[in-house]
Amino acid sequence: MSLALSVALERPGFRLTVDQTLPADGVTAVFGPSGCGKTTLLRCIAGLERPRGRIVLDGHVVHDDADGIWVPVEARRVGLVFQDARLFAHLSVAGNLRYAARRSGATAAERDELLELLGIGALLRRAPAELSGGERQRVAIARTLLARPRVLLLDEPLSAVDEGHRREILPWLERAVAELRLPTLLVTHNLDEVVRLAGHLLLMDGGRVTAGGRLTEMLARPDLPLARREDAGAVLEARGVGYDARHHMSELRCGSTPVWLAGEHVPEGRAVRVRIHASDVTLALESPGATSALNRFQGVVETVTAEPAEGRCLVAVATDGGRLLASLSSLSRERLGIEPGRRVWAMAKTVALV
Ligand X SMILES: Nc1ncnc2c1ncn2[C@@H]1O[C@H](COP(=O)(O)OP(=O)(O)OP(=O)(O)O)[C@@H](O)[C@H]1O
Residues engaged in binding another protein (CB under 8 A)? 46-48, 72-75, 77-80, 82, 84, 86-91, 99-100, 103-104, 127, 129, 143-144, 147, 149
**Looking at beta carbons only, is 25 or 135 nearer to ligand X?**
135
Opening angle at CA 332, ends 330 and 334, nearest 5: 70
CB of 15 to ligand X, least distance (A): 9
Site for its own copies in 263-292 (CB under 8 A): 263-264, 277, 279-286, 288-292
**Looking at beta carbons only, is 104 or 332 nearer to another protein?**
104
| Count of residues touching its own copies (by CB under 8 A) | 81
Q: Which of 33, 121, 133, 242 binds Mg ion (CB under 5 A)?
A: 133
| CB contact at 8 A, 254 and 297 | yes
Exposed e or buried b per residue across 179-213, where buried means at least 16 C-beta atoms within 10 angstroms of its C-beta: eeebbbbbbbebbbbbbbbbbbbbbbeebebebbe
329 binds Mg ion (CB under 5 A): no
Q: Which of 132, 256, 291, 329 binds Mg ion (CB under 5 A)?
A: 132
**Looking at beta carbons only, is 86 or 214 nearer to another protein?**
86
| Count of residues touching Mg ion (by CB under 5 A) | 4
Q: Measured between alpha carbons, how far is 159 from 163 in angstroms, rounded to an integer?
A: 10
Give the interface with ligand X as residue ranges (CB under 6 A): 11, 14, 34-40, 83, 129-135, 160
Cα-based distances in Å from 319 to 50, 72, 322, 323, 343: 47, 49, 5, 6, 10
**Looking at beta carbons only, is 31 or 82 nearer to another protein?**
82
**Looking at beta carbons only, is 118 or 201 nearer to another protein?**
118
Exposed e or buried b per residue across 226-236, where buried means at least 16 C-beta atoms within 10 angstroms of its C-beta: bbeeeebbbbb
- Stated as kind and residue range, the H or E segment containing 108 is helix 108-118
Q: Measured between alpha carbons, how far is 53 from 5 in angstroms, rounded to an integer?
A: 8
CB of 317 to its own copies, least distance (A): 12
Chain centre distance of CA 323: 19
Q: Measured between alpha carbons, how far is 20 from 202 in angstroms, rounded to an integer?
A: 9
Nearest alpha-carbon partner for 284 in 304, 294, 298: 298
Stretch that binds its own copies, among 43-51, 104-112, 132-140, 143-151 (CB under 8 A): 132-140
**Looking at beta carbons only, is 17 or 83 nearer to ligand X?**
83
- A 10 A CB-CB count for 83 gives 17
CB of 294 to ligand X, least distance (A): 37
Site for Mg ion in 83-102 (CB under 5 A): 83
Q: Which of 132, 300, 340, 343 binds its own copies (CB under 8 A)?
A: 132
